[in-house]
Amino acid sequence: MNVALAGFGQEGRASYEYWTNLGDEVTIADERDTIDDLPDGAATILGKDSFSKLGGFDLIVRSPGINPNKLPYGEKVWSATNEFFDKCPAEIIGVTGTKGKGTTSSLIASILKAAGKTVHLVGNIGTPALAELSRIGEDDAVVYELSSFQLWDATMSPHVAVVLKVEPDHLDVHESEDDYRTAKANILRAQSEDDYRVLHTSHRDSPYVPDTGAFTVWYPDPAGCHAQDGWFYAGERKLCRTDALRIPGPHNIENACAAIAAASYLIPAEHEQDMERIFSQGLGAFDGLPHRLKFVAEKHGVRYYDDSIATTPGSAIAALASFDQPKVIILGGHDKGADYTELVESCERSGATVITIGANGPAIARVCREAGVPYVEEAGNMTDIVNRAAATAGEGSVVILSPAAASFDMFKSYADRGDQFVAAVTDL
């Protein structure tokens, strides 16, 4: 079979190896003129018009960042996500939402490991699903973090689907908010009454939630999974104490509720009497992912937190809500079409001082000025930004890098942005 890979990134490399190992003839098509990390001897079609030359292939595998509308080849178009759903021998817990996917997926995996399951954590969190496929057994569990790009044209759904809160995002890539939300909803669309889904209560009455008959657990909800008086509950049943969770913030309490509800479905029945230990151990074994509200250091009485993964206003609002201390928050970067009004209002309510950076820094500064929120504009590099934050913060304050914007105006990635922040704080 002649296979074309439309787009070549981390998942594209895994797709190249997967279809090559199947014995197919694989060609890499990419709109870039040059690619530095091509496999040796790989056939290529490069350049801006590359996708117009794919009509003669038997199968076209779309990489996540490629809009399906760029590939008008009908049933020939496939994806690594669809291939994995089709071929995976184990039950899959799929997790999507705007923010919290990686944390929730990691918590689910940690809980299932505490229950003795062999777990494979794949997808948007960093391990391409097809690269892991050959190692998965039918009695294992798969936790698959799914972005809107991976779900854009998904034709199958996981047996257990988790949908966290959804807010407008990636509007610089998706055609509209409707396109973005519709893509997210694809995680549910092919479910049936034999399946299970965990939904945030913000999705009640949402036109994007299809009625498939799947069993639904709502969170945080008194009838579903919720936290109350220092305990996690499933309905009226106490599960474990909330202080088992080692990562800060009310948003992570909600993420833990989603994780508990999802993991419960795959915990073997023989562990029914051991659930408090499983949940406590599973939650406690996870101390957070890099660049997700991660404590960096305390310098001169000021605590610094790296939340570089926060690329939307909603995630920065959650970071603000995680601390009672006086706050300095670093905002700005590459704009994805977001509205910063609610975020700046949250800064005003919490008494936070804003340091604006990056391409949309002036626009955020303007919103701050109109709302009467104290702000400082910083146009330098990360060392300058951290020095400015240190000069602005008083003893007993927290400084949070939670930019509410993408990183590509100044940095290679959100991870590069976070790494530079950590290095600059360490050097203070």
What are the structural domain ranges in the chain? 2-80, 88-284, 294-426
Determine the pLDDT at residue 125: 86
- pLDDT band of residue 272 (cuts 50, 70, 90) is confident
At 359-387, the pLDDT tens digits run 999 999 999 999 999 999 999 999 999 99
Three-state helix/strand/coil letters over 129-195: HHHHHHHCCCCCEEEEECCHHHHCCCCCCCCEEEECCCCCCCCCCCCCHHHHHHHHHHHHHCCCCCC
Determine the pLDDT at residue 42: 96
Which residue type, as a one-letter code, is found at position 357? I
**332 torsion bin: left (phi>0), alpha (psi -120 to 50), beta (else):** left
Write phi, then psi, for 167 (nearest 5 degrees).
-130, 160
**pLDDT above 90 for 173:** no
**pLDDT above 90 for 337:** no
- pLDDT band of residue 289 (cuts 50, 70, 90) is confident
**pLDDT above 80 for 126:** no
Q: Does domain 2-80 match CATH 3.30.565.10?
A: no
Determine the pLDDT at residue 268: 85
Name the burial class of residue 272, with classes exposed (0-12), middle (13-18) and buried (19+) by CB atoms within 10 angstroms of its CB.
exposed
Give the mean model confidence (pLDDT) for residues 144-152. 96
Determine the pLDDT at residue 10: 84
Give the mean model confidence (pLDDT) for residues 288-293. 88
* 84 close to 144: Cβ distance less than 8 angstroms: yes
Within 13 Å and on the Cβ side, how many CA atoms surround 183? 27
Write phi, then psi, for 374 (nearest 5 degrees).
-65, 135
* 188 close to 161: Cβ distance less than 8 angstroms: yes
Distances 94 to 142, 288, 422 between C-alpha atoms, Å: 8, 19, 31
At 246-259, the pLDDT tens digits run 998 899 999 999 99
Give the mean model confidence (pLDDT) for residues 45-56. 96
- The dihedral over CA atoms of 386, 390, 391, 396, expressed in degrees to the nearest 10, equals 160
The CATH number of 88-284, from 3.20.20.70, 3.40.50.10470, 3.30.465.10, 3.40.1190.10, is 3.40.1190.10
Find the helix or strand (DSSP H, E) in which 306 lies: strand 302-306
Give the mean model confidence (pLDDT) for residues 264-283. 92
**pTM, to two decimals:** 0.85
Which residue type, as a one-letter code, is found at position 33? D
Q: Does domain 294-426 match CATH 3.90.190.20?
A: yes
At 114-124, the pLDDT tens digits run 999 999 999 98
**pLDDT above 90 for 147:** yes
